[in-house]
Chain A
């Protein structure tokens, strides 16, 4: 049970889902072209539908984190790299209001394949 005297520390510390592990080598690096896999799991995922099958570019490797698709179903943490991926507005929406704009979304390595 979380006791009152523990609240301040809990608020200040939180609960990071980062799992640093140098043995888990990243598959992608900044600048790589990637395509989002067309996955449609019936369970929990953070793979937003609007990105599936779309081509993007790796902007940044955030490091290794717990994988929610397994963690939400008692199938373990399966830690892996999470990437910030840039998608051009035209790629996502066809004929967007502005061709200049982009969406950056954070995607786990399992969601991606090389483009």
Chain B
């Protein structure tokens, strides 16, 4: 059921947003500085570095890992991460026999407090359509070949629970500190389209 609200010829998005924002500001409903702060929070402050810290902590502290897997929200909050689009968190663990993959087939739900805002590909039709029905083919495209004896679990974030993958602790990193380990954890490994290796480098 679509609603025809656009009698005016479709103007480009920038004009439309300017019109919207300026009207809302004039009516005293929106403060432009509020928008600036929200943008700054998610462009510069909240991002996958947060999730990487959670993963590294779980790798070095087995008691923390147990808490993380039984109550993701509380354990993640222990490290100071919480809030919008992460109010209810579940963390799923990759093991030698289980590989997890996160998707939102219906829109773009994603754990903002630990991973920041989702990349365009996560929100795209190719990913959303194929993650649930052909995870192996999809992961091959990402360069990840999952062995036939490994079970793939795809988590479709259809409600308000937000999911994050705890990747496997890579071999050859036993000498690393928690901070050094966090540097290896990529956003893609916490979605489930990549693994963490001793050569990984978290982008930012």
A and B touch in their complex, CB below 8 angstroms: yes
Is A14's CB under 8 angstroms from B106's CB?
Answer: no
Q: Is the interface of A mostly helix, strand, loop or mixed?
A: mixed
- Stretch from B5-13, B134-142, B177-185 at the A interface: B134-142
Query: Contact check: which of B106, B113, B133, B134 meets A46 at CB < 8 Å?
Result: B106
Chain A residues with CB under 8 Å of B137's CB are 97
Is B29's CB under 8 angstroms from A11's CB?
Answer: no
Chain A residues with CB under 8 Å of B159's CB are 46, 62, 65, 82, 106-108
Q: Is the interface of B mostly helix, strand, loop or mixed?
A: loop
In this assembly, does B82 line the interface, its C-beta being within 8 Å of a C-beta of chain A? Answer: yes
Query: Contact check: which of B1, B34, B152 meets A4 at CB < 8 Å?
Result: B34
Query: Contact check: which of B34, B85, B86 meets A2 at CB < 8 Å?
Result: B34
Query: Contact check: which of A1, A13, A14 meets B30 at CB < 8 Å?
Result: A1
Chain B residues with CB under 8 Å of A104's CB are 153-156
Is A100's CB under 8 angstroms from B149's CB?
Answer: yes
Which chain B residue has the least Cβ–Cβ distance from A66? B160
In this assembly, does B145 line the interface, its C-beta being within 8 Å of a C-beta of chain A? Answer: no
In this assembly, does A74 line the interface, its C-beta being within 8 Å of a C-beta of chain B? Answer: no
In this assembly, does A72 line the interface, its C-beta being within 8 Å of a C-beta of chain B? Answer: no
Name the distance in Å between A105's Cβ and chain B's nearest Cβ: 4
Is B88's CB under 8 angstroms from A62's CB?
Answer: yes
Query: Contact check: which of A3, A6, A100, A106 meets B148 at CB < 8 Å?
Result: A100
In this assembly, does B202 line the interface, its C-beta being within 8 Å of a C-beta of chain A? Answer: no
Is A14's CB under 8 angstroms from B133's CB?
Answer: no
Chain B residues with CB under 8 Å of A14's CB are 82-87, 113
Name the distance in Å between A9's Cβ and chain B's nearest Cβ: 9
Chain A residues with CB under 8 Å of B38's CB are 7, 11
Which chain A residue has the least Cβ–Cβ distance from B157? A106
> Interface readout for A32-43 with B: 1 if CB under 8 Å, 0 if not?
000000000010
Name the distance in Å between A112's Cβ and chain B's nearest Cβ: 13
Which chain B residue has the least Cβ–Cβ distance from A47? B158
In this assembly, does B117 line the interface, its C-beta being within 8 Å of a C-beta of chain A? Answer: no
In this assembly, does A101 line the interface, its C-beta being within 8 Å of a C-beta of chain B? Answer: yes
Chain B residues with CB under 8 Å of A4's CB are 31, 33-34, 36-37
Complex formed: what's the CA distance from A88 to B153 in Å? 9
The A19-64 residues at the B interface (CB cut-off 8 A) are 42, 46, 48, 50, 62
In this assembly, does B186 line the interface, its C-beta being within 8 Å of a C-beta of chain A? Answer: no
Is B158's CB under 8 angstroms from A106's CB?
Answer: yes
Is A98's CB under 8 angstroms from B148's CB?
Answer: yes
Complex formed: what's the CA distance from A11 to B82 in Å? 8
> Interface readout for B93-104 with A: 1 if CB under 8 Å, 0 if not?
000000000000
In this assembly, does B150 line the interface, its C-beta being within 8 Å of a C-beta of chain A? Answer: yes
Partner-B contacts on A (CB < 8 A): 1-4, 6-8, 10-18, 42, 46, 48, 50, 62, 65, 82, 84, 92-93, 96-98, 100-108
Partner-A contacts on B (CB < 8 A): 1, 28-31, 33-34, 36-38, 41, 46, 82-88, 90, 105-106, 113, 132-137, 148-161
